[in-house]
Chain A
Amino acid sequence: MIRLCGVTKRFEGATVLDDVSLTVPTGATLGLVGQGGAGKSLVLKLVCGLLRPDAGQVFVDDDEVSALDETALMPVRDRIGMIFQNYALFDYLTVGENIAFPLRQRRAASADEITARVTKRLAQVHLPGIEDRLPAELSGGMKKRVCLARATIHDPPILLCDDPTAGLDPVTTNRIFALLKAMQVERAATAVIVSHDVPSLLPLCDRLAVLDRGRRVFEGTCAEAEASADPLVRAFLHPEVTP
């Protein structure tokens, strides 16, 4: 379970998150939407402890992430996989080495087993046989799928996706969401997915939260979101009818 309780975060005097509370039950997927600068990516960074809130608490299962130091955060992060908005692939490592990285560092399996798992995971994300290529040789959509493979290779029970389809064409977007859906069905991880593409996001989510200028304006099930009268929620759910 992931919980944010009254979280506030400021940067140089500007309040970027203002008293935000969110809950993602174990095994559920939360879609997090909002306009640019609403604080969505910040929520993910707070959950994995990359940043600390100025007020409030962040919990991952029973661990209060916001109160842990870097060393104490390691076991929590062991349970998290994250897809970064700007890929964050290690550009000096090949695709295969990138994906194998979490396993190698944890010494979680033998070299042969790691190779087999990398090959299998690359096939799952429809990128077979590109182990020896460097990230710089890949397109944006391919990089996102490699990110997905790296984030999930160690089967973390929590998955954080920061705009996994940003800047991608509709075909690749659909492919990425289909992959996420398939992985969620297979692994039943607790997930938070940030995206602007709400129509594509909804089929993946159990719950939806909408942020606006640092404040949470909606949190509930997808059905409750559909029934919401909030103009911003309606604008995200039905962009085609929004003036």
Chain B
Amino acid sequence: MRGLAARLGGRFLDIADVVGELALFTAAVARAGVRLRGDGRETWRTLHAVGVRSLPIIVVTAWFAGAIAVLQVGEYVVKYRAYEVMGWGFGYSVFREVGPLLVGLMFSGRVGAHNTAELGTMTVTEQVDALRVLAIDPIEYLVMPRLVAMTVMMTLLNVVGDVFALIGGMVTADVLIGVDPYVFWNSFIEYVKLEDFLNGLAKAFSFGVAVGLVSCGFGLSVRGGAPGVGRAVNACVVASAVGIFVLDYFITHLLR
């Protein structure tokens, strides 16, 4: 019994340690953000790496997410002949929930994990120490550009994802269920509100901030060489996913 309590206590302390470290890191990033410090050249490089290279995977994911959403509801749409609400149902769920959530998870898996691996490798190979010795603040040079790029690109990729999910859904509805694209589009335009779109955008923005902070925080706190980098990447993917769902819940609750 004491052994179990000790293990649980140890685990709790480990988690508290990680959360505390992330909180301190977030405070340091906030201070750099207030001072508007960051490296423009590094920001452009990261914007390209984060955004342009993520585009194909986001387009494919969004297209199929749209198609799947239509397939799931298609049976009931046909059964109840509710063709004129299909565009609305689809747009509402994709804009508010499916789009930002799927793009966020893909983004954390691809960009967040890559970012942690990159910063972790820089840490264990003393490149971060080299920056500090050159009198360059790693938060300003490495973290701020990545955080800005990940937040901006996550938000923009969400918009791209919404568009391709819509196209994927419309094509699938036409080809497999026989819903005229004109009917689908009319229903979408008629019932989906701007706030549905903005709701998703707010989520995407906050997911971008969360993935950026978590991936940079885990990357810069790597210890223990290559195995440490692996552990940090794993921890980053898990923490980002948990963070995305928790944020999703609170934002949904706040913006009801």
Chain A neighbourhood of B136, CB < 8 A = 105
Complex Cα distance A215/B141, Å? 37
User: Min CB distance, A51 to chain B, in Å?
Assistant: 10
Interface residues on A, range: 20 to 34
B27 to chain A, nearest CB (A): 13
Residues on B with C-beta less than 8 A from A45 are 129
CA distance A72 to B127 in the complex (A): 21
Q: Which residues of A contact B132 (CB under 8 A)?
A: 48-50, 70, 77
B135 within 8 A of A: yes
B30 to chain A, nearest CB (A): 15
- Whether the Cβ atoms of A77 and B127 lie closer than 8 Å is no
List the B side residues contacting A87 at CB < 8 Å.
Answer: 125
CB–CB A84/B126 < 8 A = yes
B254 interfacial contact with A, CB 8 Å: no
Contact of A84 among B39, B122, B129, B137 (CB under 8 A): B129
Residues of chain A contacted by B137 (CB below 8 angstroms): 70, 74
Partner of B135 from the list A74, A86, A88, A89 (CB cut-off 8 Å) is A74
B interface bracket (residues with beta carbon within 8 Å of A): 10 to 19
A222 at the interface (CB under 8 A from B): no
**Given A84-B126, A90-B127: A50 and B134 within 8 A (CB)?**
no
- Asked whether any CB of chain B lies closer than 8 Å to the CB of A82, the reply is yes
Which residue of the partner chain B has the closest CB to A154? B134
A102 within 8 A of B: yes
The answer to whether the Cβ of B130 comes within 8 Å of any Cβ in the partner chain is yes
A101 within 8 Å of B (CB atoms): yes
Is A84 within 8 A of B130, CB to CB? yes
Query: Please, how many angstroms separate the alpha-carbon atoms of A87 and B130 in the complex?
Result: 9
Of the candidates B39, B125, B133, B134, which one forms a contact with A86 in the assembled complex, judged by CB atoms under 8 Å apart?
Answer: B125
Which B residues are in CB contact (< 8 Å) with A50?
129, 132-133
Q: Out of B39, B125, B141, which one reaches A88, CB within 8 Å?
A: B125
User: Is the CB–CB distance between B135 and A90 below 8 Å?
Assistant: no
Contact A78:B125 (CB < 8 A) given known A84-B130, A88-B130, A90-B130: no
Within the complex, the shortest CB–CB distance from A140 to chain B, in Å, comes to 14
Question: Please, how many angstroms separate the alpha-carbon atoms of A72 and B136 in the complex?
Answer: 12
Q: Are B135 and A82 in contact (CB under 8 A)?
A: no
Residue in A70, A75, A91, A102 whose beta carbon sits within 8 Å of that of B134 in the complex: A102
Kindly identify, within residues 96 to 135 of chain B, every residue whose CB is under 8 Å from any CB belonging to chain A: 122, 125-127, 129-130, 132-135
A residues adjacent to B (C-beta < 8 A):
45, 48-50, 70, 73-75, 77-78, 80-82, 84, 86-91, 101-102, 105-106
17 A–B contacts from the bound complex (CB under 8 Å): A45-B129, A70-B132, A73-B135, A77-B134, A78-B135, A81-B133, A82-B133, A86-B125, A88-B126, A88-B130, A89-B127, A90-B122, A91-B125, A102-B134, A105-B134, A105-B136, A105-B141
Those 6 A-B pairs whose CB atoms lie nearest each other, nearest first: A88-B130, A77-B135, A88-B126, A82-B133, A74-B135, A78-B135
